[in-house]
């Protein structure tokens, strides 16, 4: 068959029958099936690769999410730890977080006492185990953590010897992870943080150790800060006591006044069932309540007679002067400032400096004001002899609802024992030792 010319190009024309025949021959020979099979295998391989890559990407994303969640949890935990002021509460929280985050049945915090470790809080251990387990520093896996400052991970693959070192622990420990409690400020750990019996998985991994190590460091830093805070509190109390003594030294007639007001105020606060934290704030404020009198001139402060109106205005300034004196003591809670500032307010609004009335007056300020008034009335002054306790309470009862909160005054009466002998006498009930 001659070549055909189409738009100037030569083409070879084959009969339709011949092309169809070649196709049929190819089908009969299985070539097409082989071609299709190879394509199918390539598609399956590409799909498997894509699925594997997607799974790997999902795994990495999950790992990243878990690490971000743990990091956010550590940041939040650090903030929580920094707000706690009691070491036992802080360590109890650390032990609970360790147990939950490490998905473990057991957790414990043990601190160094001399040459041994003592468990101070735990989860998943019996009281008998807690009392009996006291590993020596440097001995066994846990005691070794204190010396080396490095974490350990132990499990079934590590044999039985390490379990025998857990002398006193009655529970069967299958897996164990322990890290030091050590801050950057300390040369040696102050204790260990440990978890045991992993609930999911055969053994603790490096990721578990990393997280628990960070938690242990956070706990150590928080404990160090608490120690510094305690030292600051001691210094602060020394300052308070020095100021209180300076006040009493200016006026011999007020000798012992601050201590007595503190005693009355704290016992009244206890009688009212206030929380211990509130009682401690009231105690501090009672010590400081007259510190502003340092700035009052002696001719006014120790005048042996009734003050003039002008002199009384000078005397009233002592409550606000106290704030100027105390403002630089940063460890002093703001509520103590409020108690000092408002302890001369009256229940009916006729007091100073702001004329607060009723429940507008901070409760601590009302308590201190009541105690202050009672001690002032029963103390000798240059211009008069002090009232007896009976006379003072009778006069205060007349001011119930005007100068004093009725509920507080009735509770204050309850602090005294009334004796039936004549003349009627009063005695302050014996209470717990005042702080």
- pLDDT of 123 reads 94
Q: Torsions phi, psi of 192, nearest 5?
A: -135, 155
The pLDDT confidence band at residue 77, using thresholds 50, 70 and 90, is low
For residues 192 and 61, the model is more confident at 192
Q: What is the pLDDT of residues 139-182, one digit of tens each?
A: 888 999 999 999 999 998 888 889 888 888 999 999 999 999 99
pLDDT given for residue 232 in this prediction: 80
What is the rounded distance in angstroms from the CA atom of residue 329 to the CA atom of residue 240?
10
Task: Please give the pLDDT value at position 78.
Answer: 63
Bigger pLDDT: 14 or 412?
412
Residue 242 has pLDDT above 90, yes or no: no
Q: Would the pLDDT of 284 be above 50?
A: yes
pLDDT value for 23: 52
Q: What pLDDT score was predicted for residue 15?
A: 52
Angle at 251 between CA 245 and CA 254, to 5 degrees: 75
Is residue 411 pLDDT above 70, yes or no? Answer: yes
**Confidence class of residue 424 from pLDDT cuts 50, 70 and 90?**
very low
Q: What is the structure's pLDDT at 6?
A: 43
Q: What is the pTM of this model?
A: 0.55
């Amino acid at each position: 068959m001659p070549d055909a010319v189409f738009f100037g190009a030569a083409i070879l024309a084959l009969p339709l029958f011949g092309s169809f025949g070649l196709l049929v021959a190819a089908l009969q020979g299985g070539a097409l099936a082989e071609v299709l099979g190879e394509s199918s295998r390539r598609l399956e391989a590409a799909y498997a690769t894509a699925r594997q890559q997607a799974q790997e990407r999902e795994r990495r994303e999950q790992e990243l999410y878990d690490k971000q969640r743990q990091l956010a949890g550590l940041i939040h935990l650090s903030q929580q730890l920094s707000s706690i002021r009691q070491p036992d509460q802080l360590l109890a929280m650390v032990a609970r977080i360790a147990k939950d985050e490490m998905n473990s049945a057991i957790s414990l915090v043990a601190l160094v006492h001399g040459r041994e470790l003592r468990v101070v809080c735990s989860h998943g251990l019996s009281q008998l185990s807690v009392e009996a387990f006291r590993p020596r520093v440097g001995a066994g896996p846990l005691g070794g953590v204190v010396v080396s400052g490095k974490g350990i991970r132990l499990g079934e693959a590590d044999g039985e010897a390490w379990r025998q070192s857990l002398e006193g622990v009655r529970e069967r420990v299958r897996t164990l992870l322990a890290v030091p409690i050590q801050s950057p400020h300390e040369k040696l750990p102050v204790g260990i943080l440990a978890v045991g019996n992993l609930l999911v998985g055969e053994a603790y991994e490096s990721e578990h150790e990393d997280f628990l190590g960070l938690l242990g460091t956070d706990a150590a830093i928080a404990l160090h800060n608490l120690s510094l805070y305690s030292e600051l509190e001691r210094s602060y109390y020394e300052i308070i006591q020095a100021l209180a003594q300076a006040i009493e030294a200016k006026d011999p007639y007020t000798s012992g006044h601050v201590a007595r007001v503190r005693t009355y105020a704290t016992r009244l606060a206890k009688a009212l069932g206030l929380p211990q934290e509130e009682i401690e704030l009231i105690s501090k404020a009672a010590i400081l309540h007259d510190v502003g009198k340092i700035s009052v001139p002696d001719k006014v402060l120790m005048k042996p007679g009734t003050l003039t109106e002008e002199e009384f205005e000078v005397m009233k300034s002592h409550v606000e002067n106290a704030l100027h004196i105390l403002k630089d003591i940063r460890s002093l809670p703001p509520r103590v400032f409020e108690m000092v500032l408002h302890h001369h307010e009256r229940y009916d609004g006729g007091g100073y400096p702001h004329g607060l009335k009723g429940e507008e007056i901070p409760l601590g300020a009302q308590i201190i004001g009541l105690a202050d008034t009672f001690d002032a009335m029963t103390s000798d002054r240059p211009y008069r002899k002090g009232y007896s306790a009976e006379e003072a309470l009778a006069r205060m009862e007349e001011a119930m609802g005007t100068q004093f909160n009725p509920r507080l005054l009735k509770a204050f009466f309850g602090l005294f024992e009334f004796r039936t002998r004549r003349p009627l006498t009063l005695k302050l009930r014996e209470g717990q030792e005042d702080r």
